Each structure stands twice: as C-alpha cells, then as structure tokens.
C-alpha cells in the first residue's frame, strides 16, 4: 500500500461538536458521525478530516489537548471511536485526524509535571524561562500560575503551553535550547509516539495544526529550515513504518511540500491565490475574481501557477477548501448559484478538495454569535449541521445545543435532497463528473486565458474549463479544437467559436471529447 490514494481523495471536514448528536446532550459525537457516513459517501467524498477528538477541557475548541492517547468522552467511548473508524473503512472512506503538535492543554499531565519546582523527567518537555522575575523582549510567557521558578511560553492562549522542539536562532542562551538538543529530540520522539498510537488504531493520516510553528526563531514561512528538517525526519519514519499514511499541513506555503507533506492547504492569508479567487485582499484593496464587481484573474493565475509549480516539483499537492473551522463560510457573501461556480472552479484546479461540513448546502456564516470555547469570530462557522426542519435543525433532540441551531426551509439536507436544482444535488453531480475524468487528478495544468474580470480559461489534460463570474456575457480569445463538446456546465453551456469561446453570464463549462 502507499499514500498515492491522496491523489483521488475528496475530503469532508467534520467539526465533531457540530455534526450530529446521537444521544441528546447537545454536542455531536462519534455515533452521530457513524450514522451519517452513508450521507458523506453519497455526496462523493471518500475521506474525512476529523477536527480534534482528544480528551480536552475545550478552552480552544479541542485544540488544547489534555491527553493525546484518549478520546474525549464528550464524543463517546473508545469503542465508539473504533466503530466509527471500522465502519468508515468498510464503506471505503478514509479518516485523517487532527494532530496538535505545538502545544498542549495547561491541564496536560506532562505539563503539570514540568511545572513542578524540582527537576524531573518532564522538566524540559515545555519551554520555560529561567526566572519568574525576568522579562525578555518578544517572549510570550506567563508566570505565577505554578511553583516552577520561570515563565512558560505559550503559542496562542494562556491555556496552551508550547512544547519544546527547540530554537534555531538562540537569543537567550540561559534557557532557550537548540533544536538539536536532547530535550528537543525527545519531544520529537514523543510526537512520533502519538502518531504511531493512532495509526496503529486505524487512522489513515493527520492534518497537522500550525505545522510550521514547532521550532522557534526559525525564519519566515517560506523557509523554516529546522522545522523542515523535523518534518522530513517524521516523513521518513512514516514512509518506512506506515507507507499508506498521509500528512496534510496547515502551513500555506510551498515550503510544506519541501518539508515532506503530501498536501498543504492554500488558506486565506492576504494576497495568496485562494484569497484573490474567492475572498479578496482588504489590506491592498484587491477584489476577489468572483466578486460581482469584478476582480483580477491574472493576479490569481500568476500566483497559483507559481505556487503549483513549486508544490508539484516537490512531489506535493495543494489542499483546496470551500472553507474550514477557522474561516468565514462563503455564504451569504455568495448565493447558491455563485457557490456552484466557485466550487466547480476550485475543484477543477489541480489539488485535493476539502469540503467543510454544511458548505454543500450553503450553510451561512453567522456573525455576532457570542464566543463559545474561545471560538471568537470563528464561532459563526461552527454552528450545528442543518439536516432538516425538525427540532434543532435535525442535529439534536436536546433542549439546548452547545451553539444555536438555525432553521432554514431551503438550507437543509432534507429539502435539498428533493430539489434537483439544489446546491447539494449539484455537488453530487459535479463530484461524480470530476471522479469520472482522470484529467482532474493529473499533473497536467495550463492557464490559457486570464485577464481582469474576463472569463478564466484553463486546461486539464485534454479538457478545457471556461468560467465567467459576471452577470454579462463575455468572450475569451481562446480557439478550441473542432471535435470538443461541452461535457459539464453550470448555467448555460459556453460555445466554442472560430477564434474565441462565448461564455454566458454566471457560467462554468468543461469542454472535451467524450
């Protein structure tokens, strides 16, 4: 077996709190996921990315792990987890787990041991300064919460102490250890033990949270030499011991592929190609290509080609998302007809698709929800899945759910399953078409035309894709071979003319030979 399965994977991301509640406690759980595996498969997905499932106090939505070798009882029992894995595998669905390697919960037993005032076996597992009264410029540390004479370094929140993978550049040799130190190596070996535990349990790989942040003072995102060295070491272990395992990184730079990751997400950072396609760049006042007011196809195309070439040369893949648990959903910024164009475009570019739960029905980002479990602005993308018009949108029988549910006659699975023109049925039809054409999992990609808000035209093997995001008909100066026909379209078919492609308003067309 090998990790080549990633090429034909279509992922469905599940935030377990929000997907399906099987026992009426207001939280989603493993049994709820198991009950909906047929739905996920019917959509056209053959893989799942499961957000953190570990034992946690949930001070950051589960990204604060108390015990890396135990499931959260919020989601069910160990047996429930194993049943979910086994059932998914029986249905041909792989599951990758969220790996949180950079920090633990403040309640983690290893951290509490390291916080004791006397040296012990965990003393250097986390990063501590050398004295409670000393302050250091640029150091994000907290003191006075434990008896150890020092401040512990945090990655994000006060409840997330940073694990010690060492430093590349040493600014304060009194307490900063090089990444080649025995303590840093021991942390790396501990991380490998976590990975082995879940792979032996049946997991198919990991999505790695903030993968570029482990070794401190390690340069810019597109460099990270020491962190790259760390991940290449882990990749070598996986290739030898678990060759079917895949690594997906939250790095958002081609450097991730050079570090050994099979897939890296193209996220919503300013001016990257994903933003220039669907979100825009407010800092530089640049509109997204799909903005109804018109964006710049060339800015997207130039960035995407450069990124893709680097990733492809390193043997990796781009992770293409509809959204995720940290980003605002694309609805209601775009309506369902626009979403069809966006999804079809994003998922015919070269890369591995990731669909965030509910995006297939156009679930909306809900602003101004009070933060729960430190979700803050992210909370509006984590509301419970809208299955039907029943109580709590079919998510739970509880009197109160952990986040509010929203009833919407059009935006739920039950109603869209009955509507042939729904976003849900479009997604099923589109993913079936994508699966039927090997060109979409090939490395063959070429931009044929990209200019301002005019139609974007690109080539995948023998297929040509033309998309027009505007409400006006436009021509793209691309001549197609005489035998090609429209094989799949959103809106009206584009038409091949002698010297151009006539692209209808709000349309997407794939041309090719049948």
Question: Measured between alpha carbons, how far is 98 from 93 in angstroms, rounded to an integer?
Answer: 16
Question: Measured between alpha carbons, how far is 182 from 386 in angstroms, rounded to an integer?
Answer: 50
Among the three residues 412, 438, 464, which one is the final residue of a domain in this structure? 438
The reply to whether 237 and 155 lie within a common domain is: no
Question: Measured between alpha carbons, how far is 265 from 353 in angstroms, rounded to an integer?
Answer: 10
Question: Measured between alpha carbons, how far is 502 from 491 in angstroms, rounded to an integer?
Answer: 13
CATH number at residue 151: 3.90.400
**Residue among 503, 499, 493 nearest 471 (CA):** 503
Question: Measured between alpha carbons, how far is 502 from 469 in angstroms, rounded to an integer?
Answer: 13
Domain that holds residue 384: 3-101+184-438
Q: ω into residue 44 within 30 of 0, thus cis?
A: no
- What local confidence, expressed as pLDDT, does residue 1 receive? 46
Instruction: Confirm if 461 and 450 have CB atoms less than 8 A apart.
Output: no
Looking at the chain, the whole-number percentage of residues with pLDDT higher than 70 is: 100
Instruction: Note whether residue 17 is domain-resident.
Output: yes
The reply to whether 204 and 305 lie within a common domain is: yes
- What local confidence, expressed as pLDDT, does residue 20 receive? 99
Task: Read off the pLDDT of residues 485-507 as tens digits, 9 standing for 90 and up.
Answer: 999 999 999 999 999 999 999 99
Q: Tell me the CA distances in angstroms from 59 to 25, 371, 377, 478, one per residue in order.
A: 19, 11, 15, 53
CA 108 to chain centroid: 25
H or E element that contains 317: strand 317-321
Cβ partners under 8 Å of residue 142, min gap 6: 151, 152, 154, 158
> pLDDT-derived band of residue 2, with 50, 70 and 90 as boundaries?
confident
The reply to whether 314 and 455 lie within a common domain is: no
The reply to whether 427 and 455 lie within a common domain is: no
- What local confidence, expressed as pLDDT, does residue 286 receive? 87
The reply to whether 129 and 271 lie within a common domain is: no
Number of Cβ atoms within 10 Å of the Cβ of 205: 28
Instruction: Note whether residue 366 is domain-resident.
Output: yes
The reply to whether 416 and 326 lie within a common domain is: yes
Token pair listed for 376: 């803050």
In degrees, to the nearest 5, what angle opens at C-alpha 37 toward C-alphas 36 and 42?
100
Instruction: Note whether residue 170 is domain-resident.
Output: no
User: What is the average per-residue pLDDT within 398-422?
Assistant: 97
Instruction: Note whether residue 379 is domain-resident.
Output: yes
CATH number at residue 459: 2.60.40.1180
Question: Measured between alpha carbons, how far is 437 from 309 in angstroms, rounded to an integer?
Answer: 22
Instruction: Note whether residue 177 is domain-resident.
Output: no
Between 270 and 40, the higher pLDDT residue: 40
Burial class for 343, CB neighbours closer than 10 Å (0-12, 13-18, 19+):
buried
Radius of gyration for the alpha carbons in the chain, expressed in angstroms and rounded = 24
> pLDDT-derived band of residue 3, with 50, 70 and 90 as boundaries?
confident
Token pair listed for 33: 């996921």
The reply to whether 448 and 431 lie within a common domain is: no
- What local confidence, expressed as pLDDT, does residue 281 receive? 81
* Range in 23-27, 183-187, 280-284, 325-329 the model is least confident about: 280-284
The reply to whether 395 and 464 lie within a common domain is: no
> At 514, is the secondary structure helix, strand, or coil?
coil
Token pair listed for 349: 């570019």
Question: Measured between alpha carbons, how far is 348 from 431 in angstroms, rounded to an integer?
Answer: 10
* Range in 168-182, 260-274, 371-385 the model is least confident about: 260-274
Is the predicted pLDDT of residue 39 greater than 50, yes or no? yes
Q: Which residue has the tokens 């193209």?
A: 266
Question: Measured between alpha carbons, how far is 124 from 177 in angstroms, rounded to an integer?
Answer: 9
Number of Cβ atoms within 10 Å of the Cβ of 2: 10
Question: Measured between alpha carbons, how far is 503 from 175 in angstroms, rounded to an integer?
Answer: 63
H or E element that contains 142: strand 141-142
The reply to whether 323 and 297 lie within a common domain is: yes
Token pair listed for 269: 């950072």
User: What is the average per-residue pLDDT within 268-290?
Assistant: 87
Is the predicted pLDDT of residue 369 greater than 50, yes or no? yes
Enter the pTM of the model.
0.97
- What local confidence, expressed as pLDDT, does residue 269 receive? 80
Is the predicted pLDDT of residue 140 greater than 90, yes or no? yes
Burial class for 388, CB neighbours closer than 10 Å (0-12, 13-18, 19+):
middle
The reply to whether 271 and 337 lie within a common domain is: yes
Instruction: Note whether residue 178 is domain-resident.
Output: no
Question: Measured between alpha carbons, how far is 504 from 472 in angstroms, rounded to an integer?
Answer: 7
The reply to whether 379 and 239 lie within a common domain is: yes
- What local confidence, expressed as pLDDT, does residue 285 receive? 80
User: What is the average per-residue pLDDT within 447-460?
Assistant: 98
Is the predicted pLDDT of residue 400 greater than 80, yes or no? yes
Among the three residues 438, 459, 493, which one is the final residue of a domain in this structure? 438
Cβ partners under 8 Å of residue 140, min gap 6: 153, 154
Q: Which residue has the tokens 């933003």?
A: 275
- Per the prediction, the chain carries an average pLDDT of 97
User: What is the average per-residue pLDDT within 116-140?
Assistant: 96
Token pair listed for 149: 């004479």
Among the three residues 131, 162, 193, which one is the final residue of a domain in this structure? 162
CATH number at residue 347: 3.20.20.80
Question: Measured between alpha carbons, how far is 456 from 453 in angstroms, rounded to an integer?
Answer: 8
Instruction: Note whether residue 176 is domain-resident.
Output: no
Phi, psi values for residue 114, rounded to 5°: -65, -25
DSSP letter string over 451-512? -TTSPEEEEETTEEEEEE-SSS-EEE--PPPTT-EEEEEESSPPEE-SS-EEE-TTEEEEEE
- What local confidence, expressed as pLDDT, does residue 450 receive? 98
**Residue 54's beta-bridge partner residues?**
71
Split into its structural domains, the chain has a count of: 3
Per the rule left: phi > 0, alpha: psi between -120 and 50, beta: everything else, 202 is left
- What local confidence, expressed as pLDDT, does residue 136 receive? 94
The reply to whether 146 and 38 lie within a common domain is: no
> At 71, is the secondary structure helix, strand, or coil?
strand
Instruction: Note whether residue 233 is domain-resident.
Output: yes
> At 216, is the secondary structure helix, strand, or coil?
strand
């Amino acid at each position: 077996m090998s990790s080549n399965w990633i090429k034909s994977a279509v992922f469905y991301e599940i935030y377990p709190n929000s997907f399906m509640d099987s026992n009426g406690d207001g939280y989603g759980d493993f049994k709820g996921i198991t009950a909906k595996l047929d739905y996920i498969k019917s959509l056209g997905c053959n893989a799942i990315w499961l957000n953190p499932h570990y034992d946690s106090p949930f001070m950051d939505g589960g990204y604060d792990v108390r015990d890396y070798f135990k499931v959260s009882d919020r989601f069910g029992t160990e047996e429930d987890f194993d049943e979910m894995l086994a059932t998914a595998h029986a249905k041909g669905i792989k599951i990758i787990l969220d790996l949180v390697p950079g920090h633990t919960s403040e309640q983690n037993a290893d951290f509490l041991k390291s916080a004791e005032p006397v040296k012990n076996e965990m003393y250097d597992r986390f990063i501590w300064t050398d004295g409670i009264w000393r302050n250091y410029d640029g150091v994000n540390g907290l003191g006075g919460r434990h008896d150890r004479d020092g401040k512990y370094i945090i990655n994000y929140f006060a409840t997330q102490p940073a694990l010690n993978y060492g430093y590349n550049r040493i600014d304060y040799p009194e307490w900063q250890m090089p990444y080649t130190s025995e303590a840093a190596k021991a942390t790396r070996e501990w991380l490998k033990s976590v990975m082995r535990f879940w792979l032996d349990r049946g997991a198919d790989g990991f999505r790695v949270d903030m993968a570029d942040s482990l070794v401190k003072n390690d340069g810019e995102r597109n460099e990270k030499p020491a962190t790259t060295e760390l991940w290449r070491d882990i990749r070598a272990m996986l290739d030898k011991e678990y060759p079917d395992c895949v690594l997906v990184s939250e790095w958002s730079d081609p450097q991730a592929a050079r570090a050994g990751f099979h897939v890296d997400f193209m996220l919503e950072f300013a001016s990257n190609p994903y933003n220039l396609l669907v979100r825009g760049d407010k800092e530089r006042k640049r509109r997204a290509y799909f903005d109804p007011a018109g964006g710049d196809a060339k800015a997207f195309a130039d960035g995407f080609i450069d990124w893709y070439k680097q990733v492809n040369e390193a043997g990796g893949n781009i992770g293409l998302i509809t959204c995720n648990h940290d980003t605002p959903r694309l609805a209601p910024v775009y309506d369902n007809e626009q979403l069809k164009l966006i999804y079809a475009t994003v998922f015919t570019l070269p890369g591995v698709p990731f669909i965030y739960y509910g995006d297939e029905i156009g679930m909306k980002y809900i602003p101004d929800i009070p933060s729960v479990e430190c979700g803050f602005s992210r909370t509006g993308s984590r509301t419970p899945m809208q299955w039907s018009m029943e109580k709590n949108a079919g998510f739970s029988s509880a009197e109160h759910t952990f986040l509010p549910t929203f009833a919407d006659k059009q935006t739920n699975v039950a109603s869209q399953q009955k509507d042939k023109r729904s976003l849900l049925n479009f997604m099923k039809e589109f993913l079936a078409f994508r699966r039927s054409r090997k060109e979409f999992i090939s490395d063959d990609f070429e931009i044929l035309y990209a200019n301002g808000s005019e139609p974007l035209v690109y080539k995948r093997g023998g297929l040509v894709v033309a998309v027009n995001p505007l409400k006006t008909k436009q021509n793209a100066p691309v001549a197609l071979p005489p035998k090609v026909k429209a094989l799949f379209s959103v809106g009206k078919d584009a038409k091949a003319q002698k010297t151009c492609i006539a692209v209808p308003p709000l349309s997407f067309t794939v041309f090719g030979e049948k």
